Amino acid sequence: MIPKNEYPMRINKYLAQRGDATRRGADVLVEERKVTINGKLAKLGDPVYENDTVLVKGAGSKKYVYFAYCKPKGVISHSPQNGEESIEDAIRGKIREEVFPVGRLDKDSYGLIILTNDGRITERLLSPDRSHEKEYAITVDKPITQRFIKELERGVDIEGYRTKPATAKAVSENKLHIIITEGKKHQLRRMCAALGYTIRDLKRIRIMNIALGSLNPRQFREIKGKELEKFLALMGI
């Protein structure tokens, strides 16, 4: 269910949150005259209000799929340029369904990304208001101190924005695990830099209840069964 306070919203965002398509795919559905709002053909950018009836021609037969994927270093999550390899490039021909990555990992980072064709989860998973946990294994350039850990947990001022409280634990002299509930651009690298540390290696190992486990770069596994049920339940689906 879409929260009342999000209305009105553009038709492409509405269809994405409802799970009919990605935002880009929703625009295509509208352009192909397959979407109606209260019985009238929708136009690009049309607003949808809470009590509107939105129908998509041919809807109802789509099967949602979800995959845990280990993004390698050097692969771009979204919008590659100048010959860069994207996640879509990396998985082409390996996953039968047309899926997209939810969220980002920067080019120099690696680890877990969720791949799906379910547009409903994008906003629910990425919104900072929902405070979903994401866990990372990090290697820094010098020995970790207790003060460094406490500052990370308390929240760090990065260019005028104070990050939300986190959970951090040193696992060796230069390595730590940290759990955050938001995802500002290059957030962990900026947090560490503000405290005088440089990240040498950054790997995402968990998103909510989905763990990377033993997946190596470019490997993936389907999320299903009890694991999938819990994942969707945590997002209210």
pLDDT, tens digit (0-9, with 9 covering 90-100), for 195-229 = 999 999 999 999 999 999 999 999 999 999 999 99
Task: Enumerate the active-site residues.
Answer: 106
Residue 1, pLDDT above cutoff 70: no
Q: In angstroms, how far apart are the furthest CA atoms of the chain?
A: 64
User: What's the pLDDT band for 144 if we cut at 50, 70, 90?
Assistant: very high
Under 8 Å between Cβ of 146 and 43? no
pTM: predicted TM-score of the whole model, two decimal places: 0.77
Fold classification of 66-127+210-234 is Alpha-Beta Plaits (3.30.70)
- 54-59: average pLDDT: 82
Can 66-127+210-234 and 133-207 be said to share one CATH topology? yes
228 membership: H or E segment, kind and range: helix 225-234
Class of domain 4-56: alpha beta
Minimum mean pLDDT range among 23-32, 54-63, 157-166? 54-63
- Which CATH code of 3.30.200.20, 1.10.1060.10, 3.30.70.1560, 3.40.50.410 fits the domain covering 133-207? 3.30.70.1560
| C-alpha dist (Å) from residue 10 to 7, 13, 31, 54 | 9, 5, 14, 12
28 membership: H or E segment, kind and range: helix 23-31
Q: How far apart are CA 73 and CA 40, in angstroms?
A: 47
Percent of the chain scoring above 70 in pLDDT: 97
Q: How far apart are CA 201 and CA 180, in angstroms?
A: 17
Under 8 Å between Cβ of 173 and 143? yes
- 15-41: average pLDDT: 86
What DSSP string runs through 172-195? Answer: SSSEEEEEES---TTHHHHHHHHT
Residue ranges per structural domain of the chain: 4-56, 66-127+210-234, 133-207
